[in-house]
């Protein structure tokens, strides 16, 4: 199933799901990704996200080039270094994460 703009039952601002939300295989949204398409639990109903150009002001193009990646438990685990059980976290605590809600 392909959703146009936002899967039915998904709140595009908060990512909240209605119990009857239809899960899409792919979602085509327009101009820019809405927060709810990237926020759990809503992100699980989006499938593959495509952002269609609708001719917004070219000054906004820089924002469109920003690479967005949804952090899942797997991607976070893969980004963290392995730590031997005998080491403390102090020498490894050099990453700064930005979370935007």
Write the pLDDT tens digit of every residue in 69-92: 667 778 878 877 777 777 766 665
Q: How far apart are CA 44 and CA 99, in angstroms?
A: 18
Place of tokens 């709810």: 36
Q: How many domains does the chain have?
A: 1
Residue 84 confidence (pLDDT)? 73
What residues make up the domain containing 75? 2-79
For residue 41, is the peptide bond before it cis, meaning its omega torsion is within 30 degrees of 0?
yes
Of residues 62 and 32, the one with the higher pLDDT is 32
Full DSSP string of 7-47: -TTB-TTT--B-TTPPPPSEEEEESS--HHHHSTTGGGGT-
CATH number of the domain that residue 28 is part of: 3.40.50.10260
Give the tens place of pLDDT for each residue, 43-69: 999 999 999 988 887 777 666 566 666
The reply to whether 84 falls in a domain is no
Q: What is the mean pLDDT of residues 31-37?
A: 88
Q: How far apart are CA 32 and CA 48, in angstroms?
A: 14
The reply to whether 101 falls in a domain is no
């Amino acid at each position: 199933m392909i959703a146009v703009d936002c899967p039915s039952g998904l709140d595009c601002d908060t990512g909240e799901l209605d119990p009857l939300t239809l899960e899409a295989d792919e979602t085509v949204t327009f101009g820019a990704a809405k927060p709810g398409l990237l926020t759990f639990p809503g992100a699980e109903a989006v499938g593959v996200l495509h952002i269609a150009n609708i001719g917004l002001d070219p000054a906004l193009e820089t924002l469109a080039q920003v690479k967005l990646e949804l952090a899942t438990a797997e991607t976070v685990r893969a980004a963290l270094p392995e730590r031997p059980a005998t080491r403390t976290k102090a020498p490894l605590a050099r990453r700064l994460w930005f979370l935007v809600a």
